[in-house]
Chain A
Amino acid sequence: IAGITQAPTSQILAAGRRMTLRCTQDMRHNAMYWYRQDLGLGLRLIHYSNTAGTTGKGEVPDGYSVSRANTDDFPLTLASAVPSQTSVYFCASSESSGSTDTQYFGPGTRLTVL
């Protein structure tokens, strides 16, 4: 069982380019999340999905979009990358969005926008 996989592991991207970060989980979790982690700021929620077919905005959603066509996949798209989007991106999932459910994290994607 892989848990949560993310691709690519790392990427260097020119500003203005479009980029999709992939996230797949095989735990049949209903809820999925995208975070970015920047030095000194901790993890910040970008977008989330409580169940397939629904999405919501987190703390820092501008410049990012997501879709949740099925339970397993939750891609994050940067329509036109900017240098401030240089960060480490983590995808996470939990059984549901309820109070006791633990979030499990993927290995992360290190993105550099030049």
Chain B
Amino acid sequence: GQNIDQPTEMTATEGAIVQINCTYQTSGFNGLFWYQQHAGEAPTFLSYNVLDGLEEKGRFSSFLSRSKGYSYLLLKELQMKDSASYLCAVRDGDYKLSFGAGTTVTVRA
């Protein structure tokens, strides 16, 4: 099976920056996704990386290093609405998505 690790919980202050790390070991690699999931809701797509480097999308950025099996999601200028779970997912050699358990981010005033 696949092995995807991310921290369980993180807490940060409104306006701050938080970095959520994800390490993975998969059989084959066809891209890494980050999803946001608010409590009781469906996951929603945030970002996709398939090449090494940084992808920036507004306040959110995602970084990938394929050689290190490592990604991070950077959330800048945190807002209360950013309190959610963030899911790291890797598409393997068979094009199936495997998900990490998710990181719950709590933003405090």
Contact = CB atoms under 8 A, between A and B. Distances in A.
Interface string A39-76: 01111110010000000001100000000000000000
Contacts of A41: 101
Contacts of B48: 100, 102
A86 interface: no
Contact of A99 (B42, B44, B50): B50
Taking residues whose C-beta sits less than 8 angstroms from the other chain, chain B's interface range is 20 to 34
A100 B101 CA distance: 22
Nearest to B47: A102
Nearest to A45: B96
A98 B95 contact: yes
A112 to B, nearest CB: 15
B67 to A, nearest CB: 19
A97 interface: yes
Sort chain A's interface into a size bin. 20 to 34
Given A45-B97, A59-B1, A100 B50 contact: yes
A9 B89 CA distance: 25
Nearest to A41: B101
Most buried by A among B31, B33, B42, B91: B42
Contact of A42 (B41, B96, B100): B100
Interface in A64-114: 90, 97-100, 102-108
Interface string B1-36: 100100000000000000000000000001101000
B87 interface: yes
Contacts of A99: 30-31, 50, 91, 95
Interface of A: 33, 35, 40-45, 48, 58-59, 90, 97-100, 102-108
8 contacts: A45-B96, A97-B95, A99-B30, A99-B31, A102-B45, A103-B97, A106-B42, A107-B41
